[in-house]
Structure 1
């Protein structure tokens, strides 16, 4: 299994895209897919913020402002995720609208993160350090998944806790 933090993050990003495609399909098991997305999205963001972002800020050629902006975008994603999770009827137009808001917020974040932070990390952070960060990222991510971080109450809690980051 790869441990390069850049590759691990990219793998999660691709899974988010797959889940969005599946969630748009009205015949899919939307509640189960949303539960998977919520857990992975929260675990991913928390692992990045606790292990990856602080470490990357120590590298001169990794843009600190982009790293901080990434954390702001995580907060926006938490808000959009919560808004979707709070719509009970997965067949409603409201649910469809909230899904698209989440897709838009997350796609924007993923695009920026991949073009800036991850490209910088790939070129500026040595391979062995990226592997260390990958192991730390995976450990925190798995801990959060094991703690059921995609639970509605937990998402409410982190959405409240991170609301002040949004400009």
Structure 2
């Protein structure tokens, strides 16, 4: 991971706000990945680490609590996991490219941006909005601490390496989270 790109290190806060802060980081990192004058490789590595850490913390801690609180349905949680898997698959295509100055790289980043932006929009509308209305502030604050701790632990473990993302995509395929196309 690039040490020069700040991924943030939250320790507390409303889980919804923490997730939204990461969503804005994803958007900024995608802009950097498209910018020919930026450190595209550093942005690519930082994006990978944040994407894996964020998705892992959501799936392990946030979605289960929101399901138990009836803030989201099982379908919404499963759909969120499927979209994380699709993002990981698109990310893998970006990570596997040797350079960042080719048309192949730009095409792969475009596919990644499409998958991630779709997920961010859908999650904000169908998961975060209901959570804001259905889950007590105290619970959201407790969940924020849990989410932040899990996310930071994964970032510290450099969870976004090429081999790690390959493992995640293989597991998603085995679990049926990805289409066979």
TM-score normalised by L of structure 2: 0.89
Two-structure CA RMSD over aligned residues (Å) = 1.1
Which whole-Å CA distance do the structure 1 matches of 2:70 and 2:164 have between them? 35
Match of 1:115 in 2: 125
What's the CA shift for 1:56?
0.6
Q: Deviations over 1:76-115 (max 9, x none)?
A: 0110000110011211100000000000000000000000
Match of 2:51 in 1: 41
Which whole-Å CA distance do the structure 1 matches of 2:74 and 2:131 have between them? 12
Match of 2:22 among 12, 18, 21: 12
5+ residue gaps, structure 1: none
Contact 2:71 2:135 in 1 (8 A): no
What's the CA shift for 1:61?
4.0
Following TM superposition, the consecutive aligned residue runs of length 4 or more in structure 1 with deviations greater than 4 angstroms are none
Contact 1:63 1:117 in 2 (8 A): no
Report the number of matched residues. Answer: 167
Which whole-Å CA distance do the structure 2 matches of 1:63 and 1:4 have between them? 21
Map 1:63-102 → 2, pairs under 5 A: 63-102=73-112
Q: 1:130 to 1:152 in 2, by over 3 A?
A: same
What's the CA shift for 1:165?
0.8
Match of 2:35 among 25, 28, 41: 25
5+ residue gaps, structure 2: 1-9
